[in-house]
């Protein structure tokens, strides 16, 4: 396969797998640590109305899902890629960061500490960690 096509495939697969990890952890976290009573997690209006009722643990579930989804997505992309592995990992991080920015804008009443932690730690640093881990020689 042509190296450019393989690198494009690496990004697509990395985004897909990272998205699966993110969504899987959100769903698993929601069943292990349910949201506050009355919250419909599929309704942004409901989340916004009840965001102040979330405990620290409940609010950290999305952070870990975002961070691990980005980490795994970048790792997978690096393992598939032929070249420019750090750039491709950062592309995964940038796409996820855009999603994080959108989420922060959709839930404007989320605690500032959480929004800051999520946007600063869960995306670009995790993409770089995924690159580091994926680049290690076996």
User: Which is more confident, 30 or 93?
Assistant: 93
The rounded distance, in Å, linking the Cα atoms of 47 and 97 is 20
Q: Which pLDDT score, from 0 to 100, does residue 100 have?
A: 95
- The pLDDT tens digits of the residues spanning 68-100 come to 999 999 999 999 999 999 999 999 999 999 999
Q: Given a cut of 70, is residue 138 above it in pLDDT?
A: no
**Domain tally for the chain?**
1
- The pLDDT tens digits of the residues spanning 31-73 come to 899 889 988 888 889 888 899 999 999 999 999 999 999 999 9
| 115 Cβ contact partners less than 8 Å away, ≥ 6 residues apart | 104
Q: Which domain holds residue 11?
A: 3-135
CA distance between the termini of the chain? 23
Q: What is the pTM of this model?
A: 0.92
């Amino acid at each position: 396969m042509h190296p450019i096509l393989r690198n494009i495939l690496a990004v697509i697969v990395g985004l897909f797998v990272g998205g699966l990890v993110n969504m899987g952890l959100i769903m698993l976290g929601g069943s292990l640590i349910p949201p506050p009573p009355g919250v419909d997690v599929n309704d942004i209006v409901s989340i916004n109305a009840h965001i102040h009722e979330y405990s620290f643990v409940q609010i950290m579930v999305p952070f870990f899902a975002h961070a691990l989804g980005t980490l795994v997505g970048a790792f997978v992309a690096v393992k598939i890629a032929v070249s420019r592995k750090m750039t491709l990992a950062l592309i995964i991080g940038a796409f996820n960061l855009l999603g994080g920015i959108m989420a922060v804008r959709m839930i404007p009443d989320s605690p500032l500490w959480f929004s800051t932690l999520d946007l600063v730690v869960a995306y670009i640093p995790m993409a770089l960690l995924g690159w580091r881990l994926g680049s290690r020689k076996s």
